[in-house]
């Protein structure tokens, strides 16, 4: 039996648009969709794509993990539970580890793992009407695999408020907190395409080095970060075309 396809890809001028396509479930992440989405994100560099866009089909971006599927994960299915946890962890860090820049075009609901996916992208453009947050505690579970990205994005106090209270915020509040870059009226895809196409015009080596260094220095002490920056600066000058 052929596996159902939950992720669609379309290329435009060096930009790959990745669409989560499970609209009847608000693009909730079951195991099959998580596997397909991870494969799509990991293939960007290998396929020579210069920039990516992640979006959701239908009424929302992504409602997070498919809780209906989780009901079937019993204590006797340790292997399945551990596999899904590892899969989710890899998905949540896939964009950061890719040399290709990816922007999320978000609308409607982006909650739980869906919120984690959005802020895990390098930039986020959101439509008004956004419902963003981490309601896991209201369902008696823990937002474990999205907590790291959230805390690094907005700091400990604001992050703890979001994960402990489970309150959903709108686009304007998400913008004020620094969780998203831009808010637009209507479809966020055109604004995301504009940014992605600008990325696609940049030398791929310079973009990959910039992205790698950006995330690396964020985790290093100041002196170590400056040393890494010096090394990348020297490397960059070695491949820059002379005018």
CB neighbour list of residue 83: distance below 8 Å, 6 or more residues apart = none
CATH code, residues 7-199: 3.90.226.10
What pLDDT band is residue 81 in, cutting at 50, 70 and 90? confident
Query: By mean pLDDT, which of 5-14, 69-78, 205-214 is the weakest?
Result: 69-78
Model confidence at 156: pLDDT above 80? yes
Asked about 136 being catalytic, the answer comes back as yes
Rounded (10°) CA dihedral 69, 142, 212, 232: -160
Model confidence at 86: pLDDT above 50? yes
In this predicted model, which residue has the larger pLDDT, 196 or 144? 196
Highest mean pLDDT among 47-61, 140-154, 214-228: 47-61
Determine the pLDDT at residue 63.
Answer: 95
Report CA torsion sign: 62, 191, 100, 173.
negative
Determine the pLDDT at residue 243.
Answer: 39
Give this prediction's pTM: 0.89
Task: Give the 3-state secondary structure of 101-168.
Answer: CEEEEECCEEECHHHHHHHHCCEEEEECCCEEECCHHHHCCCCCCCHHHHHHHHCHHHHHHHHHHCCC
Domain boundaries, the chain: 7-199, 203-239
Q: What are phi and psi of 168, to 5 degrees?
A: -90, 140
Of residues 90, 25, 110, 21, the one with CA closest to residue 57: 21
Identified catalytic residue from 8, 42, 69, 136: 136
Model confidence at 2: pLDDT above 90? no
Residue 106 near residue 188 (C-beta atoms within 8 A): yes
Model confidence at 229: pLDDT above 60? no
Determine the pLDDT at residue 162.
Answer: 93
Model confidence at 143: pLDDT above 90? no
Question: What's CA 181's distance to the chain center, in Å?
Answer: 13
Determine the pLDDT at residue 84.
Answer: 86
Looking from the CA of 12 toward its CB, the CA atoms found within 13 Å total 15
Model confidence at 242: pLDDT above 50? no
**What proportion of the chain, given as a percentage, has pLDDT over 90?**
68
Mean pLDDT throughout 100-110? Answer: 98
26: left (phi over 0), alpha (psi -120 to 50) or beta: left
Instruction: Report d(CA 1, CA 201) in Å as an integer.
Output: 41
């Amino acid at each position: 039996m052929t596996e159902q396809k939950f992720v669609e890809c379309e290329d435009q001028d060096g930009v790959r648009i990745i669409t989560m396509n499970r609209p009847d479930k608000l693009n909730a992440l079951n195991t099959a969709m998580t596997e397909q989405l991870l494969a799509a994100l990991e293939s960007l560099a290998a396929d020579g794509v210069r920039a990516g866009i992640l979006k959701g089909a239908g009424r929302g971006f992504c409602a997070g993990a498919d809780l209906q599927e989780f009901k079937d994960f019993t204590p006797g299915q340790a292997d399945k539970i551990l596999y899904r946890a590892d899969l989710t962890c890899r998905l949540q860090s896939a964009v950061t580890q890719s040399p290709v820049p990816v922007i999320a075009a978000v609308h409607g609901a982006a909650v739980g793992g869906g919120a984690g996916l959005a802020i895990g992208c390098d930039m986020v453009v959101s439509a008004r009407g956004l419902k963003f947050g981490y309601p896991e505690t209201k369902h008696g579970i823990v937002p474990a695999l999205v907590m790291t990205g959230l805390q690094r994005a907005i700091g400990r106090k604001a992050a703890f408020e979001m994960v402990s209270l489970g309150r959903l915020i709108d686009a304007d509040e998400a913008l004020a907190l620094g969780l998203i870059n831009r808010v637009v009226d209507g479809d966020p895809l055109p604004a995301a395409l504009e940014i992605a196409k600008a990325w696609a015009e940049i030398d791929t080596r310079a973009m990959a080095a910039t992205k790698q260094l950006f995330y690396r220095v964020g985790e290093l002490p100041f002196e170590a970060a400056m040393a890494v920056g010096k090394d990348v600066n020297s490397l960059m000058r070695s491949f820059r075309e002379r005018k």
